[in-house]
Amino acid sequence: MTDRGDGAVTFAVKYLEQTDKDTLPVDRIWNDTQDPLLRLVTCGGSFNDDTGHYEDNIIVYAALVSGSGR
């Protein structure tokens, strides 16, 4: 990734979790933090042919390891 000044920044994945779409942990995803963090939310789990959607979300949490990130 690049920051606002076009400098490279590197994030390392710390952990991931799989949750039901109905129980998305918004308090962990969109909370304020002191340090730059990256959160990626995507679809996962079983695919429901009836609805055309995946039943879960995969959430990846990553922390800044190099670069300013500000």
Predicted local confidence at residue 70, as pLDDT: 53
Instruction: Pinpoint the alpha helices (H) of the chain.
Output: 26-29
| pTM, entire model | 0.79
* Sheet architecture: strand order including 37-48: 10-20, 53-66, 37-48
pLDDT along the chain (70 residues), means of 10: 78 96 90 91 96 96 82
